[in-house]
Structure 1
Amino acid sequence: MKKNVLKICSLAVLGLFFSCSEENYEKDSVLESENLNQELLTTKQINDGIKSTLEQTGQFYWKDASLQMLWSATQHGSNIVTIGYGSSQNDFEKASSKAIGIEEEILKIIRDNETSSSEKTLIYKDPVLNIIDVIIKDQSTLALLRQNNHVRYIEPGDYKFFQFEQENGTNKSSSSGSSGCGYESESLSSSDYTTITPNAKVPWNFYKHNIPTAWNTSTGAGITIGVIDSGVSPNQSLLGSNFNNGSSSGRSVQKYGTYVDSAWPWSTSTDGPNDKCGHGTSMTATATAPRNNKGLPVGVAYNANLISYRAASNVVLEGYHEQKGVQNAFVGLGNNSSVKIISMSMGHIFSVGRIEDGVRYANNRGKLIFCAGGTSTSFTNFVGVIFPAWMSETVAVTGIKEGSGYNKCSNCHSGSTIDFTVVMERSSSGNSAPVLSYYENQTDYVGGSSVATATTAGIAALVWAKNPSWTKTQVLNKLKQSASLYPNKNSDYGYGNINAALAVQ
């Protein structure tokens, strides 16, 4: 009996030895296959690598970066790493029963292989999507995770490309100062609008898409548009207490905030729904401003409902909290059964996995998502169509100049993933579209692919209100069929300008 016990114990110890040896062998094999070059790349070297890839392929994903580049970027981003996991590339929702086990597996790899002690390994665990944010300092840990079949993507969670561009002297303007923010107001030229009852100004470019004629059939009533941007001004009552004004009635406006204005990644308190940039106010006004009696510009879908999310501080989705805020806004709108359309006039020059997951989450719930193709600044004029507009789950929109043919507006992007265009720039004066200003009873001119996107979202609301039983695919097909270049798709301008009057027939 004693011999049998000894034999069993010996076999158990032997089995444990071989098990541990096999695990170490696999780990060593993975590390040997990776190029563990621990020379830290500078932010200039990383940015130059990103720009080089964009110039060659038009898109940049961290999965295609070298291990050295990925590790260096995390080092320059406070060691924050975002990991998307799942049993497959399409397993990105917590609905999967395997999610908890995979998450623990990944965290164990990190804890077992990090040589530097850290009080915090796990910063954030998403309650809806298969995403965790962690602290990783060792390059070897990243190498092991990259080889794990359950890791969908692994990315720097707080790498600030544009901040580093400025610090390196590549551009002289900050991302916030050149990204569409501003509280300016400007009086409108009488040639840039037409006054209609009860006393609203119709922007000149609405007529280029036959939007006023479309209003004879549909005004967007019963449709809810979700706008993901920098929020809505508390100083503009036509997007608040006077949302039902003039010929606009029986509709609702809701405002939320998912942006955390903090340098600390573990901070969770948002700074509310109010716009502190000005860009979000212009976008919500373009899509849904009332057909008012105050002598101010009207929105495309002036009887549609509005749900606004302050998801970022400005249009450049750079940094941990802005990217997380946008992801959470997509999830929030995805879970809102009343929302049909999502409009986002923000983006980044490279892919962000967590935002991609948020877009896919909303798309899977039947939302029709419009994204801006890109508006150039001093530091993005080398980029084609930006992320997430290049995703297949989104509808990409850009702006063009007034006149015959298709010529992109002075600061707009174009490319093969563009789906529609909106006339945004006057041929004579160069003026863009009249919109409500940040402040009460004031107006402004705002253009680019941002306003083009909000305009197209509004047209989609007119179509859906006319056909409330339709799916997003049916609405999108109708928009395509009503566009000037259909059935052909131009390599830079998609299906071209939508004729709203034809779209609502």
Structure 2
Amino acid sequence: MTQKTLKLSIVALLIMASCTKEDVIEDAIVIDSAQKNPLTTVEIKSKINEALNSKESFNWKESSDYLLWSAIVQGQNIATIGFGISENDFDRSKSVNNKKIQNELIDIILKYEGKSLEKVLISSDEYLNLIDVVIEKQETIIALRKNNYIRYLEPADYRLLNDSNSTEKSESSSGCGYESEALSSADYTTVTPNAKVPWTFYQHNIPSAWNYSTGSGITIGIVDTGVSPNQTLLGSSFNDGQSYGRTVQKYGTYVDSIWPWSTTTDGPNDQCGHGTSMASVAAAPRNDNGVPVGVAYNANLVTYRAASNVVLEGYHEQNGVKNAFTALGNRSDVKIISMSMGHILSVGKIEDGIKYAYSKGKLIFCAGGTSTSFTNFVGVIFPAWMAETVAVTGVMEGTAYQKCDVCHTGSKIDFTVVMQRASSGNKVPVNSYYDNQTDYVGGSSVATATSAGIAALVWSKHPTWTRDQVLTKMRQSANLYPNKNTEYGYGNINVLLAVQ
């Protein structure tokens, strides 16, 4: 090679190197200097509240990269990624390329995070196209959001209502409690063999409907805080009085730990009280103990302790609910699922779990929302606003529709349940946390569990029906049908009509 040729070759290499360097810089993700430090929890909450006040909803898909990254950082750097070739590509068993897509996304994370797989991947869901990962860098968020296979990318442990800097308290203060209260004689009617029928059941003609159906052969799944081990009518005495030949099964999917890698649940037992009340109103036996009976007193029951309280905040609560829905979705005997818990923000993994159960033919009832001092500006809450769920709320006693004093209403509501007395303000009688004790429970929570029990009566009367046929019959038997009200849906169901 001549000296002249060598010089030309060196120049060419330098030009190529220069171009390659420029290309790398051009493709590099550059973070604005003002966005290199994450927003505080107060600043994040302010931006979310702005969206909630203006649109009554918030979705992480609409947030900026900076806001999303900040929320992930403020939630132990944990993120959930839902992936697939389309919005409805959530079921692993029906997704041909799920492993390839998952590996592609993990490779992006490893590239930008500069860490090994075991320090990045927390879990890969068995049934759903989603993974939980650790992300520290904003560049990783930006790179992932450019990928066409991302269905959603969300904080997995950001707490809007329960963050350590907040002076606000979660709804758990009203959702939980072991207290009991003697029932007013005006709030029940005693029927054979010595069971108390709550006053609200008569508002919907449920006792008359029992002449046609008591829920036999139908299994209700309840996703809540579990069931008390000290309430034998929801345990060893589930078959009592005129309730017979049925089963109750209890499971736990909630992990009581701040450590995301923990997988050991704390069991099926209710440590809140809320789940016990919901199970009672849906399916407590027609007992001879002088305590309240449930709507579908001959239905089977499967309960899940999926969360510690009614506000679905935090990694393990949202994971617990997702896992409960997929487990119930995989059971052929479960036809109805009731969940009287929720959040004012959407949660992608819970959406996936609900869609999975819905795809298996389940009829899913969710609470429309019960107000607290900091959620009363919100309409129907998540996941009741989903198309796959039936949203229920509570109303006052009387001929005119008036929501209960803590209940949410809105266009997503499908049904209402009368659950608050006009004069005394008393709610629905239920069995309490301990044997032979009673209590009152209200809000959209009890309305939801009541509706699940009603659905069991209808389905038991027509065991060959599909979910859609049952739901259509319930709508046709409601007193506002066929004109759906913008706040109260189809209104109160006449259960006697529904089972005839």
For residues 272-324 of structure 1, the C-alpha deviation after alignment (integer angstroms, 9 at most, x for no partner) is 00000000000000000000000000000000000000000010000000000
Amino acid at match of 2:78: I
**CA apart distance, 1:200:** 0.3
Residue 236 of structure 1, aligned match among 208, 231, 235: 231
Residue 385 of structure 2, aligned match among 378, 386, 390: 390
The aligned counterpart of 1:503 is: 498
Cα distance in structure 1, aligned partners of 2:249 and 2:118: 39
Residue 63 of structure 2, aligned match among 51, 65, 85: 65
**CA apart distance, 1:69:** 0.7
Contact kept in structure 1, 2:56 and 2:378, CA below 8 Å: yes
Q: 1:326 to 1:361 in 2, by over 3 A?
A: same
**CA apart distance, 1:336:** 0.3
SS in 2 for 1:294: coil
The aligned counterpart of 2:403 is: 408
The aligned counterpart of 1:428 is: 423
The aligned counterpart of 2:132 is: 133
**CA apart distance, 1:29:** 4.8
The aligned counterpart of 2:336 is: 341
Residue 37 of structure 1, aligned match among 35, 38, 60: 35
For residues 359-399 of structure 1, the C-alpha deviation after alignment (integer angstroms, 9 at most, x for no partner) is 00000000000000001122222211100000000000000
The aligned counterpart of 1:474 is: 469
**CA apart distance, 1:28:** 4.8
Cα distance in structure 2, aligned partners of 1:34 and 1:442: 61
Q: 1:25 to 1:397 in 2, by over 3 A?
A: farther
Alignment of 1:214-293 (within 5 A): 214-293=209-288
Contact kept in structure 1, 2:41 and 2:165, CA below 8 Å: no
**TM-score, reference length from structure 2:** 0.93
SS in 1 for 2:119: coil
**CA apart distance, 1:490:** 0.5
Cα distance in structure 2, aligned partners of 1:167 and 1:119: 31
Gapped regions of structure 2 (runs ≥ 5): 1-12
- Given the alignment of the two structures, is residue 187 of structure 1 paired with residue 182 of structure 2, yes or no? yes
Contact kept in structure 2, 1:27 and 1:144, CA below 8 Å: no
SS in 2 for 1:124: strand
Contact kept in structure 1, 2:110 and 2:117, CA below 8 Å: no
Amino acid at match of 2:71: A
- Given the alignment of the two structures, is residue 350 of structure 1 paired with residue 345 of structure 2, yes or no? yes
Q: 1:311 to 1:35 in 2, by over 3 A?
A: farther
Cα distance in structure 1, aligned partners of 2:289 and 2:404: 30
Question: Could you say what the CA RMSD is over the residues aligned between the two structures, in angstroms?
Answer: 2.1
**CA apart distance, 1:31:** 3.6
The aligned counterpart of 2:8 is: none
Cα distance in structure 1, aligned partners of 2:41 and 2:25: 30
SS in 1 for 2:35: coil
Amino acid at match of 2:150: V
Contact kept in structure 2, 1:185 and 1:444, CA below 8 Å: yes
Cα distance in structure 2, aligned partners of 1:120 and 1:138: 14
**CA apart distance, 1:58:** 1.9
- Given the alignment of the two structures, is residue 86 of structure 1 paired with residue 105 of structure 2, yes or no? no
Q: 1:276 to 1:27 in 2, by over 3 A?
A: farther
Cα distance in structure 2, aligned partners of 1:255 and 1:386: 27
**CA apart distance, 1:174:** 4.5
Contact kept in structure 1, 2:311 and 2:343, CA below 8 Å: yes
Amino acid at match of 2:372: T
Number of residue pairs aligned between Structure 1 and Structure 2? 485
**CA apart distance, 1:117:** 7.8
Q: Determine what percentage of the aligned residue pairs are the same residue.
A: 65
Residue 355 of structure 2, aligned match among 354, 360, 367: 360
Contact kept in structure 1, 2:411 and 2:487, CA below 8 Å: yes
Contact kept in structure 2, 1:398 and 1:422, CA below 8 Å: yes
The aligned counterpart of 1:373 is: 368
Q: 1:309 to 1:427 in 2, by over 3 A?
A: same
Gapped regions of structure 1 (runs ≥ 5): 1-13
**CA apart distance, 1:167:** 2.6
Cα distance in structure 2, aligned partners of 1:475 and 1:362: 17
**TM-score, reference length from structure 1:** 0.93
**CA apart distance, 1:400:** 0.5
For residues 447-499 of structure 1, the C-alpha deviation after alignment (integer angstroms, 9 at most, x for no partner) is 00000000000000000000000000000000000001000011111000000
Cα distance in structure 2, aligned partners of 1:220 and 1:36: 61
Q: Which runs of 4+ in 1 moved over 4 A?
A: 24-30, 32-36, 115-119
Amino acid at match of 1:316: V
Contact kept in structure 2, 1:36 and 1:68, CA below 8 Å: no
- Bigger shift: 118-127 or 132-141? 118-127
Q: 1:398 to 1:28 in 2, by over 3 A?
A: farther
